[in-house]
Structure 1
Amino acid sequence: MSPTTNATTQAAPARGKRPKRTPKPQGQWKIDGKAPLHHVEEVKQEEDVLAVKQRVIDIYSKQGFDSIPADDIAPRFKWLGIYTQRRQDLGGELTGQVSDAELQDKFLMMRVRIDGGLASPERLRVIGEISRDYARSTADFTDRQNIQLHWLRIEDVPAIWEKLEAVGLTSVLGCGDVPRVILGSPVAGVAAEEIIDATPAIEIIQRDLVPNPEFHNLPRKFKSAISGHSRQDVTHEIQDISFIGSVHPEYGPGFECYVGGGLSTNPMIAQSLGAWVPIDEVPEVWAGVARIFRDYGYRRLRNRARLKFLVAEWGIEKFREVLETEYLGHKLIDGPHQPINPGYRDHIGAHPQKDGKFYLGVKPTVGHTTGEQLIAIAAVAERFGISRIRTTAEKELVFLDVERTDLADLGRALDEVGLFSKPSEWRRNIISCTGLEFCKLAHATTKSRAVELVDELEERIGDIDVPVRIALNGCPNSCARTQVADIGFKGQTVTDAEGNRVEGFQVHLGGSMNVNANFGRKVKGHKVIADEVGDYVVRVVSHFKQQRTPDETFQEWIQRAEEEALK
């Protein structure tokens, strides 16, 4: 045998084994370089993403919707906090079957960014006037403390921005591959139960870091939450980065930091860094984590371009090590793990403040409101001398600095304008996304169905003595937190008994993001026709009431219930 033949034989792979493929680049800037791997990344690198704002003012608002190039409509408009909404004549069966360009209308949704939920009568009145004058009186509180408007024309956007900016608000950076609105405790600085006031950290991040262009081309969205309240009232388990109040035995009140949470089609619960962070270091740690995401986050596939995938692959120990060595330049302080709060995280009802006054939390059903209602709410607040109002991650409104003697009268006045100061458990614990009415990703109508569902449950079941959290989501992306609800409905197109393709839902049962964290139990092969959602909830809750043991929660019952009781 010749040397050449022998060498060839030795180099050949073992029979039955294929040589390992070279892994595809994931678009991690520090590893693969910055060459764009798909069109969205190309668009993001062509120019400053916020340059499109001036084109809206100078060109599109004067020449109309048809003058807007496709790449400005999507993705660039996202950086301005605006999306095209869904055409009203296209049903959910077309979602995913035709392109976004075919689904989109010439009207816009705008997300008004309210970091920390810091509203006021003046701000609500201005948003209400914008809603009334430009948005067909639509307005929705979101579970990220924002307010969303619909039916906007591009011709009116510059005037809307001027009105928002006059009261310190904006839609810019409300969407896009940027740090989204920073969730904060709605009662920061006033609550008697507070561990530490996080407001100074949120203000620094919002003022000094979020506007910095170095954070305007992240792999995808970056969700943040910071709360020093003992109720842990900012859904910290499902954020990219979050800080919750924690008391260090040596250093006192500060924060425990979590990274890598998120829901959508690949839900993951955030993991603690195992560190205690003093308040003056929170912005630095926030920026370090955002830079890790920018430099190491996966950009090749949009559905994997979230921080949670990097944290899952690296592990929390490596993530902390990279944060400390490459981005902070110092070790973080090891800290205690804060016990999970098992109770209510919302702020419904009257609660004492540190200064002897009270705050009052009320509920707009599923966060839905109108321009006229916002104006009326502002007038009620001013009548009672209230200058501070807060939005919340549970779509509530919280009125601060209320005198004890005014609590009952304020509650009645807010009830009269369509809010609920003493909501039933159903009204208190229901949440929905925008749904098929406006969203191009949706398969099912959610918001109007949720409003009707609350009325139906109050009539057919009455109130209930344990929380049963219901979430209606129009698609799998879980904007309404489907997988961590007691009863979560995920929109799908399903086939009814006559063979028609209709709106429907897959059901998640018994999910939780705090106690016994899990993403819900699915009943195998079971779907619910949209028109039968009320019957389904009544049936399952009736089984719960019949079968529960004393002090058993709905989630505990779900874990042990037979499948027949869940159909």
Structure 2
Amino acid sequence: MSTDVSAVSTRRPQKRPNGQWKIDGTEPLNHNEEFKQADNGLNVRERIETIYSKQGFDSIDQDDLRGRFRWWGLYTQRRPGVPAGAHNSLPPEEVDDKYFMLRVRIDGGALSTEQLRVIGEISREFARDTADVTDRQNIQLHWVGVEDVPEIWRRLESVGLGTTEACGDTPRVILGSPVAGIAADEIIDPTPVIQEIAQLYIGDPELANLPRKYKSAITGHPSQDVVHEINDFALVGVVHPDHGPGYDLWVGGGLSTNARLAERLGVFVRQEEAAEVWHAVTQTFRDYGFRRLRNKARLKFLLAEWGPEKFRRIIEDEYLGRRLTDGPAPAAPDTPGDHVGVHRQKDGKFYIGITPTVGRVSGTLLVQLADLLEKHGSHRLRTTPHQKLVVLDIPEEEVEAASAALADLGLDPRPSVFRRSTIACTGIEFCKLAIVETKTTAARTIDALEERLADVADQMPVRLTLHINGCPNSCARIQTADIGLKGQLLPDGDGGTSPGFQVHLGGGLTFVDRDEAGLGRTVRGLKVTAEELVDYVELLVRRYLAGRQTGETFARWSHRVDESELQKEVEPV
């Protein structure tokens, strides 16, 4: 179906329109919809190359700067010194710095050492040696000037990378299993599907004006390692009793301030039809998604209104023209999906999951890592949805030497539970929406907890997730963590404020507990300052270890116990 305005009905219902193109017509109902319809976001690349990179930051059109630049992975970063919360009261030009965050799109998280080295060199030359591995399997750079963007694109594209639709109201990066094609216990390799979708549809003008961002995840690994429950579109590997290996389809997940887990549509998707099904769901979102209010424009709101049965019927009747096969649900995983540690591949070599602290690396480190891998016989690696890395193809005789060298770089394959399981968003250092600092806070918290809880390290579970977010938008997935921390300013007792967090407890997805997987609970009045954070987490963990039942997860324990057990101090009886 064409998205040309003239090809879509413009009839209006009597009720207030939601901006659903197939129902309400295509008249823009807010400024975001106006600028998207006025000029496709993909078209801004030519202006960046021919005008803005030559005339500088001050020449950039405002709708390009704060809108269409995102279609090419560019966000203005926070101006240093802008106080917390100022984005709510100051005009954007007083919050924006004249530098950009640049997001390198890495579908499936797949990188060669050559590509990694190029990203590292770009970071060192153009981004003040900054680099973060994100929980969307991308790598983000900071301090990028618009003057350098065309050269950065040239270098990325010379090794098969890019920034196309890394941000914006577009199909964002496709999460993929970090062990796709190599794991001995893999159900199905999703690599061909990820590549087909990326080649056919990423950068397609027909899909470059969605109601809002659109996140996809595909895995064929039994650990279900792509957090599929919080993506707009997800395929999870299953074995159909009649048709063999394929995928179970999930739709409509997302967090932010209105968290909702995805739902199964009950269909079995064969490998050869997976890209077509992705296209059908994406078009459904484009044509029926709500566009009037930005905070109601994600696919989860459409699914909540329709339900999975109607959603399935629409994609079958209006976009596929056929019925999909009914299919089984995936089995609950019994191993964590972060792939940290040393594991044998199906070809006899080994992959090693390593742990940059909350994804914070540097260009220099990325170059060093590329050199290290090649020295030990590897030429490829993967990013993960947990801000970690997995290096592939290590020969057995090189495993111990490579592991020791990785640890020397601060990329330990045998980390503590908190270094393994903590993630943090960008935070106030660079993000214009953030209220508190996150990356440094997380790193200091991990260091302190490793020291303070050393006496009970052998009693800790395999994973105990700590997610730290700088604002309410949940880029660090706070509602699905064992301990989720939402940044906010708290009264300091002297008429001012100090950085702190609202606490969410007992959230989790697949590996936690299939019967109780879901969103964390909030406890009445439970907030901690940044200074109290280490004390509180230590206290909470010790209470869990002392009070858990046999085999009880932190998530189940935190939902079972009385609220008093979760407070900073237990109130006397």
1:551 aligns with 2:543: no
* Aligned-partner Cα distance in 1 for 2:355–2:250: 29
* Aligned-partner Cα distance in 2 for 1:442–1:176: 19
1:163-562 to structure 2, matched below 5 A, reads: 163-462=155-454, 463=457, 464-466=459-461, 467-514=463-510, 515=513, 516-562=516-562
Amino acid at match of 1:401: D
Alpha-carbon RMSD: 1.2
Amino acid at match of 1:489: L
Q: CA deviation at 1:537?
A: 0.7
Q: Could you tell me whether the CA contact under 8 Å between 1:83 and 1:110 is conserved in 2? A: yes
* Aligned-partner Cα distance in 1 for 2:501–2:334: 28
Q: CA deviation at 1:533?
A: 1.1
* Aligned-partner Cα distance in 1 for 2:334–2:497: 41
Aligned to 1:6: none
1:81 aligns with 2:76: no
Aligned to 1:565: 565
1:57 aligns with 2:49: yes
> Aligned to 1:36, what secondary structure does the other structure show?
coil
Q: Which runs of 5+ in 2 are unaligned?
A: 1-12, 568-573
* Aligned-partner Cα distance in 1 for 2:299–2:92: 25
1:139 aligns with 2:131: yes
Amino acid at match of 1:565: E
* Aligned-partner Cα distance in 2 for 1:546–1:350: 30
The alignment covers a number of residue pairs equal to 547
Q: Could you tell me whether the CA contact under 8 Å between 2:85 and 2:433 is conserved in 1? A: no
Q: Could you tell me whether the CA contact under 8 Å between 1:505 and 1:529 is conserved in 2? A: yes
* Aligned-partner Cα distance in 2 for 1:91–1:206: 39
Q: CA deviation at 1:106?
A: 0.6
Aligned to 1:13: none
Q: Could you tell me whether the CA contact under 8 Å between 1:429 and 1:468 is conserved in 2? A: yes
Identity %: 53
* Aligned-partner Cα distance in 2 for 1:313–1:420: 45
Amino acid at match of 1:473: N
Aligned to 2:570: none
Amino acid at match of 1:465: M
Q: Could you tell me whether the CA contact under 8 Å between 1:215 and 1:291 is conserved in 2? A: yes
Q: Which runs of 5+ in 1 are unaligned?
A: 1-20
Q: Could you tell me whether the CA contact under 8 Å between 1:373 and 1:418 is conserved in 2? A: no
Q: CA deviation at 1:342?
A: 4.5
Q: CA deviation at 1:497?
A: 2.6
Structure number with greater Rg is 1
Greater Cα shift, 205-214 or 144-153: 205-214
Q: Could you tell me whether the CA contact under 8 Å between 1:444 and 1:475 is conserved in 2? A: yes
Aligned to 1:8: none
* Aligned-partner Cα distance in 1 for 2:170–2:395: 40
Amino acid at match of 1:519: L
Q: Could you tell me whether the CA contact under 8 Å between 1:100 and 1:440 is conserved in 2? A: no
Q: CA deviation at 1:496?
A: 1.6
Q: Could you tell me whether the CA contact under 8 Å between 2:110 and 2:383 is conserved in 1? A: yes
* Aligned-partner Cα distance in 2 for 1:499–1:544: 35
* Aligned-partner Cα distance in 2 for 1:82–1:234: 24
* Aligned-partner Cα distance in 2 for 1:390–1:93: 36
Amino acid at match of 2:528: V
Q: Could you tell me whether the CA contact under 8 Å between 2:85 and 2:434 is conserved in 1? A: no
> Aligned to 2:162, what secondary structure does the other structure show?
coil
With structure 1 as the length reference, what TM-score do the two structures score?
0.95
> Aligned to 2:258, what secondary structure does the other structure show?
coil
Amino acid at match of 2:546: Q
* Aligned-partner Cα distance in 1 for 2:439–2:92: 21
Q: Could you tell me whether the CA contact under 8 Å between 2:119 and 2:366 is conserved in 1? A: yes
Q: Could you tell me whether the CA contact under 8 Å between 1:93 and 1:501 is conserved in 2? A: no
* Aligned-partner Cα distance in 2 for 1:198–1:204: 10
Amino acid at match of 1:497: G
> Aligned to 1:531, what secondary structure does the other structure show?
coil
* Aligned-partner Cα distance in 2 for 1:109–1:538: 34
1:107 aligns with 2:99: yes
* Aligned-partner Cα distance in 2 for 1:159–1:210: 21
* Aligned-partner Cα distance in 1 for 2:275–2:447: 44
Greater Cα shift, 119-128 or 512-521: 512-521
* Aligned structure 1 segments of 4 or more residues deviating by more than 3 angstroms: none
* Aligned-partner Cα distance in 2 for 1:414–1:509: 33
Q: CA deviation at 1:64?
A: 1.1
Greater Cα shift, 476-485 or 459-468: 459-468
Q: Could you tell me whether the CA contact under 8 Å between 1:95 and 1:443 is conserved in 2? A: no
Q: Could you tell me whether the CA contact under 8 Å between 1:93 and 1:502 is conserved in 2? A: no
* Aligned-partner Cα distance in 2 for 1:250–1:443: 52
Q: Could you tell me whether the CA contact under 8 Å between 1:177 and 1:221 is conserved in 2? A: yes
* Aligned-partner Cα distance in 1 for 2:91–2:558: 39
* Aligned-partner Cα distance in 2 for 1:76–1:101: 16
Q: Could you tell me whether the CA contact under 8 Å between 1:488 and 1:508 is conserved in 2? A: yes
Amino acid at match of 2:232: D
* Aligned-partner Cα distance in 2 for 1:492–1:103: 18
* Aligned-partner Cα distance in 2 for 1:454–1:81: 30
> Aligned to 2:193, what secondary structure does the other structure show?
helix
* Aligned-partner Cα distance in 2 for 1:459–1:564: 26
Q: CA deviation at 1:91?
A: 2.0
> Aligned to 1:374, what secondary structure does the other structure show?
helix
* Aligned-partner Cα distance in 2 for 1:203–1:371: 27
Q: CA deviation at 1:292?
A: 0.2
* Aligned-partner Cα distance in 2 for 1:99–1:239: 32
Q: Could you tell me whether the CA contact under 8 Å between 1:491 and 1:503 is conserved in 2? A: yes
Q: Could you tell me whether the CA contact under 8 Å between 2:164 and 2:202 is conserved in 1? A: no
Q: CA deviation at 1:49?
A: 1.5
Q: CA deviation at 1:22?
A: 5.4
Q: CA deviation at 1:198?
A: 0.8
Q: Could you tell me whether the CA contact under 8 Å between 1:238 and 1:513 is conserved in 2? A: no
Amino acid at match of 1:518: G
Q: Could you tell me whether the CA contact under 8 Å between 2:176 and 2:226 is conserved in 1? A: yes
* Aligned-partner Cα distance in 2 for 1:342–1:239: 21
* Aligned-partner Cα distance in 1 for 2:509–2:18: 29
